[in-house]
Amino acid sequence: MTKKSLSIYGLLLVLVLSSCSKNGHIIGGDRNETNEVNMSTFDFLKSFDVTTSTARLIEKAGLKDEVNGNVTLIAPSNFAVNRYLRRKNNRLLRLDPNAKEMTLEDIPVADLEQLKMYIVDGSFLSTDLTPEGILLPTHHAGDSLRLSLVEATAEPGAAWDGGGQPGEGYQYSNFMQSRPQKVTVHFKRGANWEMSGATRTAMGMDNPECDQVYKMYISDVKTTNGVVHVIYSGDYSYTDHYYYHSLFFFGTRADDLL
């Protein structure tokens, strides 16, 4: 790997917590010589600036003790919460231009039961995962997900493919001799698993039966009780991209714009 590649890769580690690093881990931009934090899962979410809204919703839903069990939490970020609210408010404004803006505190407690879809029993680090993935039932009745360790081909934060078309941005192969592996979550949403990107695209990503697959913003945070992976965060202005999560998968791309 060239010095230039090493420099770029070092920057990427600020965004992706690499459990394979021998030189320490990055959690929230701060170096940590292990991937452990001396706090519970809930306290970590509350202290990490990317998941403060998620922590508030967990507290409001009465799920604090549940996430502080021996569980792995695939945590939505503040961005996912904000995108949910953006979509909700745009729908309200289409019906009534004078509608009161919905805030985080206005989300009904009954709706927050869906937060259980992000919780699975046991502690699963990237070292426990394979490209094929591990199939896991969630705490939300009837839901399941698949956790995998997948070789990444591109950085999703770059919204354009260089040719003027929406895509996954610059390719790692353009500046790295090897590609990083990232924890990936695949949420099953309908009766069947849609295992390929081509199948999901053909089905229509806005189809409520279509599975959703996301990479992690950070992964392998070992708390005093379990493990946290945080789903990739992004800019909501990129409305033609599906790797930006909306809480509970709510809405469609049309709802991103008024």
Query: Tokens representing 145?
Result: 């997900």
Instruction: Examine the pLDDT at 109 and tell me if it is beyond 90.
Output: yes
Contact predicate 16/180, CB 8 Å: yes
Helix (H) or strand (E) holding 73: strand 71-75
Cα three-residue angle 105-244-150, rounded to 5 degrees? 130
Confidence band for 254, pLDDT divided at 50, 70 and 90: confident
Let me know how long the chain is. Answer: 258
Among the listed ranges 90-104, 178-192, 235-249, which one has the minimum average pLDDT value? 235-249
Would the pTM of this model clear 0.95, i.e. be above it? no
Query: What is the structure's pLDDT at 171?
Result: 66
Query: What is the structure's pLDDT at 20?
Result: 42
Mean pLDDT of 156-165: 51
pLDDT in tens, 77-94: 999 999 999 999 999 999
Higher pLDDT, 205 or 173: 205
Please, what is the average pLDDT of the chain?
A: 83
Which string of b and e fits 231-244 if b means at least 16 CB within 10 Å?
Answer: bbbbebebeebbbb
The closest alpha carbon to 141, from 123, 117, 108, belongs to 117
From CA 172, how far away is CA 99, in angstroms rounded?
45
Pairing of strands 71-75, 227-231: parallel
From CA 215, how far away is CA 120, in angstroms rounded?
17
Mean pLDDT of 101-129: 97
Instruction: Examine the pLDDT at 159 and tell me if it is beyond 60.
Output: no
Mean pLDDT of 162-182: 63
133: left (phi over 0), alpha (psi -120 to 50) or beta: left
For the chain, the helix, strand and coil percentages under 3-state DSSP, each to the nearest 5: 30, 20, 50
Domains and CATH numbers, the chain: 3-243 (2.30.180.10)
Query: What is the structure's pLDDT at 258?
Result: 83
DSSP code for 132:
S
Query: Tokens representing 256?
Result: 């991103």
> Percent of the chain scored above 90 by pLDDT?
62
pLDDT in tens, 185-195: 999 999 999 99
From CA 207, how far away is CA 1, in angstroms rounded?
42
